[in-house]
Amino acid sequence: MKILVINAGSSSLKYQFMDSDTHEVFAKGLCERIGIDGRLTHKVPAKDQKFEAEIPMPTHGEAIQSVLDALTSPEHGVVKDVSEIDAVGHRVLHGGMAFTESCIIDDACIAAIEECIPLGPLHNPANLMGIRACQAIMPNTPQVAVFDTAFHMSMPEKAYTYAIPYEYYEKDKVRRYGFHGTSHRYVSARAIDMLGNPAHSKVITCHLGNGSSLAAVVDGKCVDTTMGLGPLAGFAMGTRSGDIDATIMEYLMGRYGYDIKEMLNILNKKSGVLGISGVSSDFRDLEAAAKEGNHRAQLALDVFEYQVRKFIGSYAAAMGGVDAIVFTAGVGENSASMRQNIVAGLEYMGVKMDPEANNVRGKETVISAADSKVKILLIPTDEELMIAQDTAELVKK
Ligand code: AMP
């Protein structure tokens, strides 16, 4: 089926139009500066074509219309008519406890996504704008919502429960949810395939990008993950702090008079490896600065690697072993040194890298040594493919 995958943010909208069976990507692109002025970048991989234009986009409606115009344009289009788009799959950040899997978008689904706005206040409203714009412009095309949280809903109670008064879970749904679920689901399924589809498997998936998280996956089901109620939790990221002692907030708010918004802005936007290094949130910049002897850039990399390694150890303990460790996303797919440093010292657990095999970028590869008990795998993530496949499956039912 021909599926249009939409990932709507508050002022941007990414799209990919693809075949869910052959995996061919017909076109993909990005609308930027929605609500400000508007800019479209549209690419057609088969023809190596790139089209860029300033297009007024006061709302997500104009953005979606510009995507459909590009997809059907005589010069750089890939279909003759919008009716050739079989269905639309939307990435939605927070599905709360309501969604354990993807769902066809109807009034009940929209109401449930709306109910999750307090849990995903930045993303869910933007995701809904994308959905509503598509519904208005393509009322006869089926739409599906695919949630970042859904894969993690199989976590057991002991993994998702915070040690705070239980009433906050019961009344306010405060619990660990986890994110990047579509990526963890895709790469863990690929890993199980690469392991030869054993009856039982224990996999740790490391999604290391600008935002990062790990998941522990037993027999294809998530049993733990590093992100929490929101995507600030876990280990140090590009600009996010990961887990910190909550006392730090009170201490700094008291010393500098920050309100909670300012404090959270520091933890979300000014922390992580950017905060430690003062150099950049981009791992390429950090690796370059560290090579030139910048101590804080090196420290930021050390902290990141150390925290990821600690979570790998804790997930091996949580699962009672591990068959495969998977690296994915921008850093995980591209930085051989980061992968090498993260698993360094895990030989006692049967984790042994093959440095030559590890010298690879963005290609599905076994990068562990032949005698490594635990397979180390590089698997490029493909969230768009997962969204397209979920969408096709639900629409065919
Ligand atoms: P993502 O959020 O998955 O798009 O990943 C973005 C992150 O990947 C950025 O912090 C980039 O610095 C990082 N990245 C991309 N290429 C490389 C590379 N060759 N080496 C290290 N980090 C990289």
Q: 62-71, pLDDT tens digit by residue?
A: 999 999 999 9
- pLDDT tens, 231-262? 999 999 999 999 999 999 999 999 999 999 99
Tell me the best of 183, 276, 284 to mutate to test the pocket of ligand 1, counting ligand atoms within 8 Å of each CB and taking the most. 284
Which residue's CA is the closest to the ligand 1 atom numbered 20?
A: 335
Q: Residue 122's pLDDT is what? A: 84
Strands 324-328 and 375-378: parallel
Cβ contacts of 219 within 8 Å, gap of 6 or more:
200, 201
Residue-wise burial string across 21-37, b where 16 or more C-beta atoms lie within 10 A, e elsewhere: eeeebbbbbbbbebeee
Q: Residue 74's pLDDT is what? A: 94
352 burial (CB, 10 Å; 0-12 / 13-18 / 19+) is middle
Name the helix (H) or strand (E) containing 231.
none
Cβ contacts of 31 within 8 Å, gap of 6 or more:
12, 13, 15, 38, 39, 40, 57, 63, 66, 67
Among candidate residues 37, 69, 81, 148, the one labeled active-site is: 148
Which residue's CA is the closest to the ligand 1 atom numbered 10?
A: 282
Q: Residue 235's pLDDT is what? A: 98
Cβ contacts of 290 within 8 Å, gap of 6 or more:
297, 298, 301
Atom of ligand 1 nearest to the CA of 238: 10
The structure's pTM equals: 0.96
| Phi-psi domain of 257 (left: phi exceeds 0; alpha: psi -120 through 50; beta: other) | left
Q: Residue 327 phi/psi, 5° resolution?
A: -110, 130
> Would residue 148 show up in a list of annotated catalytic residues for this protein?
yes
| 279 CB-side CA count, 13 A | 21
Which residues of the chain fall below pLDDT 70? none
Closest CA to 211 of 287, 123, 310: 123
Long-range contacts, 361-365 (Cβ 8 Å, 24+): 361/333, 361/334, 361/336, 362/333, 362/334, 364/190, 364/194
The shares of helix, strand and coil residues in the chain, as percent rounded to the nearest 5, are 40, 20, 40
Q: Which residue ranges have their beta carbon within 6 Å of ligand 1?
A: 209-210, 238, 282-284, 329-331, 334-335
Q: Residue 397's pLDDT is what? A: 86
Tell me the best of 179, 301, 334, 360 to mutate to test the pocket of ligand 1, counting ligand atoms within 8 Å of each CB and taking the most. 334
Q: Do the Cβ atoms of 126 and 10 come closer than 8 Å?
A: yes
Residue matched to tokens 């978008």: 105
